[in-house]
């Protein structure tokens, strides 16, 4: 894995600490200025220290800020560095896009505020070397994203609400899991966490907490809704850096080889496979380009989860597998946001044919066609897997191909949006294209491999058959709205209040009943207090009795 790690230059030691602190701090400092003139350009500025840190700070640099919060520990390790670099790139590109794109008039203010906060959270969790700091970053990122999704449409608001419900559940599951871990280890530092047995409850909660971010099947309904309704820039960072933070969480807290993890790995493998299949199937049935991309993300995350599960079940091959998995995830981290940004540029911008070709290339890379980064990532995985679960890889690749074809088809059929001409977004896409196409690999690492052609053929066949079957009667295609499960559950009217967090006041149910003042006399009140105490006394008494 040569990658970009050779780039490390010698940085004066004195500059390391400020740079690391500044990485999460600068976005935070920029956040209050979101409502001012700086707000718009601050979108691109905030991430710069992070990129500098990723490129210049030597791996292993650590920082002890024990006076902040519950003792903040920052460290840049190899994994963190990769995450930091590519996440930073996407945040930079998205920030620039948001500042110059078709919606640039609306980004100053709320969007910029939450963008900076989410960015800060993401960067903090990557650098975190202790449980609490990681959690703080994760929560900051996850909750701030609510404000990013929250566009100006009713649909976006609904999506944001659903997202928030899921995220809150995830945060709390994570909170509990991390509390369990910290208590078991007697410390919150990552380095003292190693080798500490992880209880089943903690594992389940970790899978749940990060699984929501990774949109495991069943935990996914927020994703298609958000991806189709939120502003494009928000979707870009959601689909890339933020989603991958879930994987980073697993990597940090579920080291393969720890006792008792195998059954969980099997479960994850199963769930992930389900995600691959369902994501592909439901994705094909979508009628919006963005929805197809959303389901493609579900499928890809399913694959990542399944492979992580494999790593848990087989600690022997875990190390190379996880290395390859990180590369694979990084590739997705780069391509998916690029695709979303491409959608935006295509809708508004000039040179539509060239843009469409560029998008096509990106889609090909995502599908893992030969000579792309996607193919290289897949090869790395295959090598690490020694031929195991190869069917899953094939299915995934075929599914992705079908989805990409569907995506391009839907995109090309769309009418462009009337928007002012803007060159900069196009330039962003042009710069991003090669990075996303081949990243995280150097072009020299890309070798021609014909393995990719197997799923290609399969996918093409499936696509052709499907097209042929539905060509005459589009009505036979079942209509699955993005967010599938959500709509079905909503139709059943059994939505838990936590999912919609509407709360009673908005529904206006109980409020009138309890606020209506009932006149009560002094005696009645005294009696009431006395009775209540009696009941409590009785309760206390019963339990105070000796065994």
Of the candidate residues 6, 450, 514, 516, the single one contacting other proteins (CB under 8 A): 514
Cβ-based nearer residue to other proteins, 193 or 329: 193
Tell me the helices (H) and strands (E) count for the chain, helix number first.
25, 2
Residue 180 binds to other proteins (criterion: CB under 8 A): yes
Task: Return the structure tokens found at 364.
Answer: 């090909």
Residue 197 binds to other proteins (criterion: CB under 8 A): no
Please state the closest distance from residue 200 (CB atom) to other proteins, in A.
12
Please state the closest distance from residue 514 (CB atom) to other proteins, in A.
6
CB atoms within 10 A of CB 194: 10
Residue 466's H or E segment, with its range, is: helix 453-470
Strands 72-75 and 62-65: antiparallel
**CA-to-CA distance for 372 and 437, rounded, in angstroms?**
6
Residue 516 binds to other proteins (criterion: CB under 8 A): no
Cβ-based nearer residue to other proteins, 187 or 388: 187
- In this structure, are residues 269 and 236 in contact, taking their beta carbons and an 8 Å threshold? no
Please state the closest distance from residue 73 (CB atom) to other proteins, in A.
11
**CA-to-CA distance for 236 and 245, rounded, in angstroms?**
14
**CA-to-CA distance for 413 and 286, rounded, in angstroms?**
14
Of the candidate residues 119, 129, 173, 402, the single one contacting other proteins (CB under 8 A): 173
Residue 543 binds to other proteins (criterion: CB under 8 A): yes
Residue 192 binds to other proteins (criterion: CB under 8 A): no
**CA-to-CA distance for 29 and 34, rounded, in angstroms?**
10
Please state the closest distance from residue 196 (CB atom) to other proteins, in A.
12
Residue with tokens 């703080």: 136
Residue 235 binds to other proteins (criterion: CB under 8 A): no
Q: For other proteins, which stretch binds (CB under 8 A), given 52-60, 90-98, 164-172, 231-239?
A: 164-172
Residue 186 DSSP code: T
Residue with tokens 């449409």: 153
Task: Return the structure tokens found at 537.
Answer: 């006394």
Residue ranges in 90-129 that form contacts with other proteins under rule CB under 8 A: 110
* 3-state DSSP helix/strand/coil % of the chain, to nearest 5: 75, 0, 25
Cβ-based nearer residue to other proteins, 71 or 320: 71
Residue 225 binds to other proteins (criterion: CB under 8 A): no
Residue ranges in 129-148 that form contacts with other proteins under rule CB under 8 A: 132, 135-136, 139-140, 143
Three-class SS of residue 288? coil
Angle at 81 between CA 294 and CA 121, to 5 degrees: 60
- In this structure, are residues 349 and 420 in contact, taking their beta carbons and an 8 Å threshold? no
* Residue 48 burial (10 A CB sphere; 0-12, 13-18, 19+): middle
Residue 350 binds to other proteins (criterion: CB under 8 A): no
Residue ranges in 39-78 that form contacts with other proteins under rule CB under 8 A: 65-72
Helix extents (H) in 101-153: 104-107, 110-127, 131-149
Please state the closest distance from residue 545 (CB atom) to other proteins, in A.
8
Closest by CA to 215, choosing from 300, 139, 149, 90, is 300
Q: For other proteins, which stretch binds (CB under 8 A), given 15-23, 99-107, 273-281, 528-536?
A: 528-536
Residue 517 binds to other proteins (criterion: CB under 8 A): yes
Residue 444 binds to other proteins (criterion: CB under 8 A): no
Please state the closest distance from residue 118 (CB atom) to other proteins, in A.
13
Q: For other proteins, which stretch binds (CB under 8 A), given 241-249, 327-335, 408-416, 506-514?
A: 506-514
Closest by CA to 32, choosing from 116, 139, 89, 134, is 116
Of the candidate residues 44, 50, 168, 395, the single one contacting other proteins (CB under 8 A): 168
Residue 532 binds to other proteins (criterion: CB under 8 A): yes
Helix extents (H) in 368-471: 373-385, 390-412, 424-438, 453-470
Cβ-based nearer residue to other proteins, 147 or 349: 147
Which positions lie near other proteins, rule CB under 8 A?
A: 65-72, 110, 132, 135-136, 139-140, 143, 150, 157, 164, 168-169, 171-173, 175-176, 179-180, 182-184, 201, 497-498, 501-506, 508-511, 514-515, 517, 522-523, 525-526, 528-530, 532-533, 535-537, 539-541, 543-544, 546-547
């Amino acid at each position: 894995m040569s990658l970009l790690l050779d780039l490390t230059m010698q940085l004066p030691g004195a500059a390391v600490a400020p740079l690391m602190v500044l990485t999460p701090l600068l976005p935070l400092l920029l956040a209050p200025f979101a409502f001012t003139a700086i707000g718009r350009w601050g979108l691109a500025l905030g991430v710069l220290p992070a990129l500098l840190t990723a490129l210049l700070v030597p791996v292993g640099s650590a920082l002890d800020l024990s006076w902040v919060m519950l003792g903040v520990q920052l460290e840049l390790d190899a994994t963190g560095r990769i995450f930091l670099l590519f996440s930073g790139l996407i945040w930079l590109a998205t920030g620039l896009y948001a500042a110059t794109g078709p919606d640039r008039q609306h980004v100053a203010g709320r969007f910029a505020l939450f963008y900076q906060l989410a960015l800060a959270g993401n960067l903090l969790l990557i650098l975190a070397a202790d449980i609490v700091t990681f959690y703080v970053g994760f929560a900051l990122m996850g909750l701030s994203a609510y404000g990013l999704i929250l566009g100006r449409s009713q649909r976006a608001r609904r999506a944001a609400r659903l997202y928030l419900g899921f995220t809150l559940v995830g945060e709390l599951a994570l909170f509990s899991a991390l509390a369990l871990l910290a208590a078991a280890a007697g410390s919150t530092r990552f380095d003292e966490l190693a080798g500490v047995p992880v209880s089943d409850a903690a594992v389940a909660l970790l899978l749940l907490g990060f699984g929501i971010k990774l949109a495991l099947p069943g935990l996914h309904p927020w994703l298609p809704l958000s991806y189709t309704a939120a502003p494009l820039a928000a979707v870009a960072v959601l689909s890339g850096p933020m989603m991958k933070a879930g994987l980073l969480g697993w990597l940090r807290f579920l080291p393969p080889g720890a006792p008792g993890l195998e059954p969980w790995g099997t479960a994850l493998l199963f769930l992930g496979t389900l995600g691959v299949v369902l994501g592909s199937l439901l994705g094909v049935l979508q009628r919006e380009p963005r929805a197809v991309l959303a389901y493609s993300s579900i499928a890809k995350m399913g694959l990542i989860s399944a492979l992580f599960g494999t790593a848990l079940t087989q600690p022997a091959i875990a190390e190379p597998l996880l290395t390859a998995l990180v590369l694979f995830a990084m590739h997705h981290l780069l391509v998916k946001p690029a695709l979303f940004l491409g959608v935006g540029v295509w809708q508004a911008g000039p040179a539509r044919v060239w843009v469409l070709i560029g998008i096509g290339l990106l889609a090909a890379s995502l599908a893992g066609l030969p000579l792309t980064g996607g193919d290289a990532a897949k090869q790395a995985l295959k090598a690490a897997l020694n031929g195991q679960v190869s069917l899953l890889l094939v299915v995934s690749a075929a599914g992705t191909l079908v989805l990409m074809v569907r995506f391009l088809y839907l995109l090309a059929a769309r009418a462009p949006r009337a928007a002012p001409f803007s060159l900069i977004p196009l330039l962003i896409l042009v710069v991003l294209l090669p990075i996303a196409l081949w990243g995280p690999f150097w072009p020299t690492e890309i070798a021609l491999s014909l393995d990719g052609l197997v799923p290609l053929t399969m996918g093409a066949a499936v696509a052709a058959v499907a097209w042929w079957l539905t060509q005459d009667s589009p009505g036979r295609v079942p209509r699955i709205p993005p967010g599938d499960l959500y709509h079905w559950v909503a139709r059943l009217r059994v939505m838990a209040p936590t999912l919609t967090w509407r709360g009673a006041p908005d529904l206006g149910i109980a409020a009138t009943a309890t606020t209506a003042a009932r006149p009560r006399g002094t005696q009645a009140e005294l009696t009431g207090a006395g009775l209540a105490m009696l009941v409590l006394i009785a309760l206390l008494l019963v339990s105070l009795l000796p065994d």
